[in-house]
Structure 1
């Protein structure tokens, strides 16, 4: 579906056709994806284009180079989880699990994001990877 939608990019964004999304989720009926080169984007169904998730001042959110999982969190927030390798001299010994919690706000036909919290949640052995990410509700 993401590849199909990517074919409908507006003029001037043709370079994004070479960018690929590998994490997709829906928050309050809006499709969000993490693109390798562009970061977090949302799909504007009115114009049939992908848009970067910007803050209220029009600046890009803090860029993370990769994401391992993402899902809808309570109250329509987006949670992004990623792991960074921690090296000890010449080899990797562990990964730190990091989280970015983003509040989403509609502003006209745009969606803006605000990073509510970002930080390290814990450390896991290097062999651990994310398989799935599910939002759990009451």
Structure 2
């Protein structure tokens, strides 16, 4: 969805800003999405990409979950794809920023 601000809070999950009511609201339909800390978000081909790290064997694993957004009666509904392991990094790795690049 265009012109919608999204934010992720570990306590609430993915949220969107309702400009009419001037309040942040939870994206519906994502109750099965695991709530994690230190998440990165980017737009990728019209979907929201959530990236996070988990401790793996001898380092950290980087995971991604794509979420398609759509309007619904309650506001915004998300449809999540299965989480995908992107790769592993050493324990010293820190995810500071997540940027999206488009052509």
- TM-score normalised over the length of structure 2: 0.86
What stretches of structure 1 of length at least 5 have no aligned partner?
1-26, 88-92
Misfit runs of 4+, over 2 Å = none
- Residue 28 of structure 1: aligned partner: 2
> Separation in 1 of the partners of 2:26 and 2:32?
9
* Structural mapping, 1:55-70, within 5 Å: 55=29, 60-70=31-41
Measure how far apart 1:109 and its partner are.
Answer: 6.0
Choose from 14, 17, 40 the match for 1:40.
14
Per the alignment, residue 78 of structure 1 pairs with 48
Distance (whole Å) between structure 1 residues aligned to residue 23 and residue 96 of structure 2: 29
Extract unaligned runs of 5+ from structure 2: none
Shift of 1:61: 4.4
Q: Contact (CA 8 Å) 2:63, 2:84: kept in 1 or not?
A: yes
- Tell me the matched-pair count: 103
Change (3 A) 1:61 1:50: farther
- 1:108 and 1:37 map into 2 onto residues whose CA distance is 24
Give me the CA root mean square deviation.
1.8
Identify, as 1 or 2, the structure richer in helix.
1
* Higher Rg: 1
Bigger relative contact order, structure 1 or 2 (CA pairs below 8 A, ≥6 apart): 2
